[in-house]
Amino acid sequence: MKSLTDYEMPDILRDFLNYLQTIKGKSINTVQVYFYDLRVFFRFLKLHRNLADKKMEFDEIGILDVDAALLRTVTLSDLYSYMSFVSNNRDNTSHARARKVASLKTFFNYLNTKAKLLDTNPTGELESPKIIKRLPRYLNVEESKKLLSSVSTVEGPNSVRDYAILTIFLNCGIRLSELVGINLSNIKNNTLTVIGKGDKERSIPLNNACVQAIAEYMKVRPVNGIKDKNALFISGHKQRISKESVQKIVKKYIKEAGLDPQRYSTHKLRHTAATLMYKYGNVDIRALQELLGHQSIATTEIYTHLDQQQLRDAVSKNPLADFGSSESAMTKDDE
C-alpha cells in the first residue's frame, strides 16, 4: 500500500494531514481515508469551477493547484452539490457520505481555527446524511464450522496458515488491520495483545482452538529469508502478510464453503465472533466492548439486538409472564 508521501498533493492538504497525524494522533490508516475523501472533493471542486477538462477521467484530475484562495470560494451550496455528486455519480452510500461530511468539517475547521487561512467555515451548517442502522451480518455456528472446514478441501502450501487466520478472526473478533499487525512478541501465556484504533492496546485471551491453530502454523512458518522476522503471518514473498492478501484468502474460503463472497468479508467475521460470544458466552456487554476494542458502548450494543430468540426467551421467563391470564381465569371462576 502506498504511503502518503507517494502521492502528489497541495501543501495545504499535506499540512492538514501532518496535523492530524502528529497533533491529533490519528493513525496512518485514518489519515489516508481523509486524504482520499478530500482528494475527491478537490477534484469535484475543480470540475464545478470549470478548472478541469470535463472530458478528462475524474480520477485523473490533478489537485496540486488547489490552494487557500480557491477554498475561500467554497459555499454551503457547493457542499450540497458535492454531496449530490458523490451520491449520484459515485454511488456513495449514506455511510460513505457521512464520512465525507466528517472529513470536510474537520478540514475546514482546521483551515478556519488552526491554520487561520479562512475567515469563515462553510461546513458550519452542513448536516450529515441520515444513516439507517442495520444489524450486522454474521455467520451462524454451522456456517462458521463450514468455513473452517473448507480449508482442508483446498490443497495448498499455506492451508495451515490460512486456517490459523480464520480461527483467530472467528474466535477473537479482531479487525483486519489488527490481524496483519500481530507480532510473535504479541503472544504470551495464551494471550494476544493487539494495537487497535487510536493506537490503543488491548489483550485478548486465546482459547484452545486459537492456541492449537497458532502452534500448528508455527511448525511450518517460514524461518529463513523473512523480511519482518517478528511478523506472525508471512506471505509467499516472505514478508508480513498484507491486508489485501488476507481479504483474498477469506473470500476464497467463503466461496469454497458455499457461502456468498459478496455478502461476507473479514469484517463480517469480526461481527460473527462478537455475535457468537454474546449469544453463547453469557458475556457482559462491557466485557465484550473491551474485547472488541470499541470506543463507545453504543457500538457494542448492536450485538444485543441480534438474537430475537433470546429476546423471546427473556420475555417468556419474566415472572409476570402468565399473571394476566391467571388473573383473568380467576375472575371468570369468581363470576
Residue 110 annotated to the active site? no
Grouping H, G, I as helix, E, B as strand and the rest as coil, residue 202 is: strand
Of the candidates 43, 46, 279, 294, the residue annotated as catalytic is 294
Of 26, 175, 240, 279, catalytic: 175
Q: Is 175 a catalytic residue?
A: yes
Residue whose entry in the numeric block shows the C-alpha cell 478540514: 107
Instruction: Check 110, 138, 163, 303 and give the catalytic one.
Output: 303
Is 197 tagged catalytic? yes
| Chain centroid, CA 69 distance in Å | 35
Q: Which residue out of 99, 137, 146, 197 is catalytically annotated?
A: 197
Q: Which of 270, 271, 278, 279 is catalytic?
A: 270
User: Is 267 one of the annotated active-site residues of the chain?
Assistant: yes
Residues 83, 129 contacting (CB under 8 angstroms) = yes
Please confirm, yes or no, whether 49 is among the known catalytic residues.
Answer: no
Residues 63 and 9: beta-carbon distance below 8 Å: yes
Helix, strand, coil proportions of the chain in percent (round to 5)? 60, 5, 35
- Intra-chain end-to-end CA distance of the chain, in Å: 80
For residue 258, give the C-alpha cell. 458455499
Sign of CA pseudo-dihedral 218, 179, 257, 141: positive
> Cα angle vertex 99, ends 261, 174, to 5°?
50
Q: Is residue 37 within 8 Å of residue 99, measured between CB atoms?
A: yes
Q: Active-site residue numbers?
A: 175, 197, 267, 270, 294, 303
